[in-house]
């Protein structure tokens, strides 16, 4: 697979780790990003690499590339609830128009295409854990609808390009991922709790903290996505995540313990439509991708804590 890879959203958290991984594997990487929630600091170490090219561009506008491309990986989109609530229309546009443009590019270049979808397509799930054949429970007109519906549309148009134009597509349903390069102010639970403990401020648990999430460390996520890119003939969505489920209150307590912090916990209003539970069923990824996560929560958090302390 030593072909040129184009990544949209490559200056973001997951995208920049993918850029590193692919360069390391010997690929040439073109990263397209408008830096709305990403940062050049995530890729600055790559800017002088001859196998890496950065293009500042909004992918909701036509994407013009003159080179051959073997793979288009579409990661551009605000991903933190705080970010997509700040940019509701840009989030809808990047999931719809941006995905359309990225698919159009893959079609023109006869490239393989991978969509970074999300566990949010399951909404506030009524089936637990979530298997790929669950259609979800999404409120289209709630605040999170801008992200959830954009990603559901993105999945639909990806399947349509596969069926109609025979594009070789993959859909990764990514569950909560964490690690180095998350912005300390991105508003997600782990960056919030880490910046709060480091500053000895109280940890803000929303609701009573009984809602659950299952957190996957970034290196496991990148390996899973890479295996999905290389896989043959899996066009329907594949869950990628770590099935180790914890309540948000437990997560807050673990972070206080690992950082030896004196921070207390304070309770804040639970945001609208906040999913009550979330855990991936990863049987499909295990069997078809021969992949499973290796980094446990404590180990991943310790690496992330080191990174946040150095920021």
Binding stretches for ligand NAD (CB under 6 A)? 8-9, 11-15, 32-38, 58-60, 75-79, 83, 94, 98, 116, 118, 174, 176-177
What distance in Å separates the CA atoms of residue 84 and residue 90, rounded to the nearest whole number?
A: 8
Q: Which residue do the tokens 């997560």 mark?
A: 251
Nearer Cβ to ligand UDP, position 196 or 223?
A: 196
Half-sphere exposure (Cβ direction) of 38: Cα atoms closer than 13 Å = 26
Would residue 206 show up in a list of annotated catalytic residues for this protein?
A: no
| 172 binds, options ligand UDP, ligand NAD, none, Cβ within 5 to 8 A by partner type | none
What distance in Å separates the CA atoms of residue 299 and residue 293, rounded to the nearest whole number?
A: 12
Nearer Cβ to ligand UDP, position 28 or 278?
A: 278
Near ligand UDP by CB under 6 A: residue from 92, 154, 167, 189: 189
How would DSSP label each residue in 248-298?
A: HHHHHHHHHHHTT----EEEEPPPTT--S---B--HHHHHHH-------HH
Q: Which of 84, 87, 122, 147 is catalytic?
A: 147
Nearer Cβ to ligand UDP, position 121 or 189?
A: 189
Nearer Cβ to ligand NAD, position 36 or 289?
A: 36
| 204 binds, options ligand UDP, ligand NAD, none, Cβ within 5 to 8 A by partner type | ligand UDP
Q: What 3-state DSSP class applies to 151?
A: helix
SS3 content of the chain, % helix, strand, coil (to 5): 40, 20, 40
Does a cis peptide bond (omega within 30 degrees of 0) precede residue 129?
yes
274 scored as a contact of ligand UDP (CB under 6 A):
yes
Near ligand UDP by CB under 6 A: residue from 28, 170, 183, 188: 188
Q: In whole angstroms, how close is the CB of 223 to ligand NAD at the nearest point?
A: 15
Nearer Cβ to ligand NAD, position 201 or 246?
A: 246
SS3 annotation, 51-107? CEEEEECCCCCCCCCCCCCCEEEECCCCCCHHHHHHCHHHHHHHHHHHHHHHHHHHH
Handedness of CA 273, 279, 283, 286 (dihedral sign): positive
Closest CA relative to residue 212, chosen from 169, 241, 182? 241
| 38 binds, options ligand UDP, ligand NAD, none, Cβ within 5 to 8 A by partner type | ligand NAD
Contact status, residue 221 vs residue 177, Cβ threshold 8 Å: yes
| 261 binds, options ligand UDP, ligand NAD, none, Cβ within 5 to 8 A by partner type | none
| 248 binds, options ligand NAD, ligand UDP, none, Cβ within 5 to 8 A by partner type | ligand UDP
What distance in Å separates the CA atoms of residue 214 and residue 235, rounded to the nearest whole number?
A: 24
Q: Which of residues 43-82 bind ligand UDP (CB under 6 A)?
A: 80-81
What distance in Å separates the CA atoms of residue 73 and residue 191, rounded to the nearest whole number?
A: 25
Nearer Cβ to ligand UDP, position 211 or 261?
A: 211
| 241 binds, options ligand NAD, ligand UDP, none, Cβ within 5 to 8 A by partner type | none
Binding part of the chain for ligand UDP, among 9-17, 34-42, 199-207, 279-287 by CB under 6 A, reads 199-207
Near ligand UDP by CB under 6 A: residue from 271, 288, 303, 307: 271
Contacting residues toward ligand UDP, per CB under 6 A: 80-81, 176, 188-189, 192, 204-206, 211, 213, 248, 270-271, 274
Positions marked active-site: 147
């Amino acid at each position: 697979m030593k072909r040129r890879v184009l990544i949209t959203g490559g200056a973001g958290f997951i995208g920049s780790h993918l850029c590193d991984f692919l360069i390391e594997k010997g690929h040439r990487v073109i990263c397209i990003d408008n830096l709305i929630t990403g940062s050049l600091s995530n890729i600055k170490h790559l800017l002088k690499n001859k196998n890496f090219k950065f293009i500042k561009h909004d992918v909701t506008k036509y994407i013009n590339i003159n080179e051959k491309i073997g793979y288009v990986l579409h990661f551009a989109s605000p991903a933190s609830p705080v970010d997509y609530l700040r940019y509701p229309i840009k989030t809808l546009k990047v999931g719809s128009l941006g995905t359309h443009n990225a698919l159009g590019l893959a079609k023109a270049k006869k490239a393989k295409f991978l969509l970074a979808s999300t566990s949010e397509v399951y909404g506030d799930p009524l089936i637990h854990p979530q298997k790929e054949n669950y259609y979800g429970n999404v409120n289209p007109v709630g605040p999170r609808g801008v992200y959830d519906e954009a990603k559901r549309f993105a999945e639909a148009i990806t399947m349509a390009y596969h069926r109609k134009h025979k594009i070789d597509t993959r859909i990764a349903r990514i569950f909560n991922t964490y690690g180095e390069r998350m912005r300390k102010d991105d508003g997600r639970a782990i960056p919030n709790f880490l910046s709060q403990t480091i500053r000895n401020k109280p940890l803000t648990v929303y609701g009573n903290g009984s809602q659950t999430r299952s957190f996957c460390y970034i290196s496991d996520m990148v390996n899973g996505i890479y295996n999905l890119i290389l896989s043959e003939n899996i066009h329907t969505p594949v869950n990628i995540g770590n099935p180790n489920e914890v309540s948000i209150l437990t997560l807050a307590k673990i972070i206080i313990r690992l950082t030896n912090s004196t921070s207390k916990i304070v309770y804040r209003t639970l945001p609208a439509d906040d999913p009550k539970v979330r855990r991936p069923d990863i049987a499909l990824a295990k069997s078809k991708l021969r992949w499973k996560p290796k980094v446990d929560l404590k180990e991943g958090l310790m690496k992330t804590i080191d990174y946040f302390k150095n920021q």
